[in-house]
Amino acid sequence: MKTVKYSDIVEGVKKICMDANFDLGDDVLESFKKSRDIEESQAGKDIFDQLLANAVIAKKEKIALCQDTGFSVFFVELGDDVKISGGNLIEAINDGVRAGYSEGYLRKSICHPFTRKNTGDNTPAIIHVDLVKGDSLKITIAPKGGGSENMSRVTMLLPSDGIDGVKDYVVNRVRESGANPCPPIIVGVGIGGTFEKAAMIAKKALLRPIGSINPNPELAVLEEDLLKRINNLGIGPQGFGGRITALAVHVEMHPCHIASLPLAVNINCHSSRHKEIIF
């Protein structure tokens, strides 16, 4: 059995909190460059130039890519042969968030739902833990901004709505969102399971590298069709019109009850931030 120290988790989480907000992934940067070449609108091309320049400054100066440094959302894979020494895993992650958002001068955005009083340290984080085989601990952070999260939805379609109903709902959700989620966006889609399962897999779908092909051929075709329909909406970068409204559509699916067809759409802004650490 492997032992992972509480203090090591805190330090690791602190680092990825800052790295995720400072250093945009290569897959996102490459999608910006490719999309700039495809974009037909000059305003859209200019926006891609600004996004690329912003990413360079953020990485070099160690400052946030966006003023909304997000809710700290974590996906954790905990091996069944891993023991945490010196404390609790959840507490370690939250301590890491406190340290990372403080030392990185990242905006603290978490507050009481009614009084709106800020917690002051961007905790508590949202932490999803999966127990897996093995002796490793993998922690992935995916900071999620309020603008894009506000445009996300879960619905319960009728089984008779089928795949066409799924397509229509996803495209209409993007149309209704307009410029609010700061396009070009990444669209995570969760189909099936239950109400909460659909939402979970829709958000987790956003972690997949942009440009990757879904290993499920049926879903790969669906993603391609949805991306084409979304980009034909003409919303464009930052809502100024153009060819590129979305950089990617990522779909995950799970078996569901015979009486239901759960569907979740989780929209991410162009600043698709996520980093991971493995112990």
| 123-166 pLDDT, tens digit each | 999 999 999 999 999 999 999 999 999 999 999 999 999 999 99
Residue 143 · residue 21 · CB < 8 Å: yes
What pLDDT, on the 0 to 100 scale, is given for residue 130? 97
Question: Rounded to whole angstroms, how far apart are CA atoms 18 and 110?
Answer: 17
The answer to whether the peptide bond before residue 124 is cis (omega within 30 degrees of 0) is yes
% of residues, the chain, pLDDT over 90: 100
- What is the average per-residue pLDDT within 31-37? 97
Q: Where are the domains of the chain?
A: 2-20+65-143, 146-272
- What is the average per-residue pLDDT within 95-121? 98
pTM of the model: 0.95
105: nearest Cα among 142, 55, 58: 58
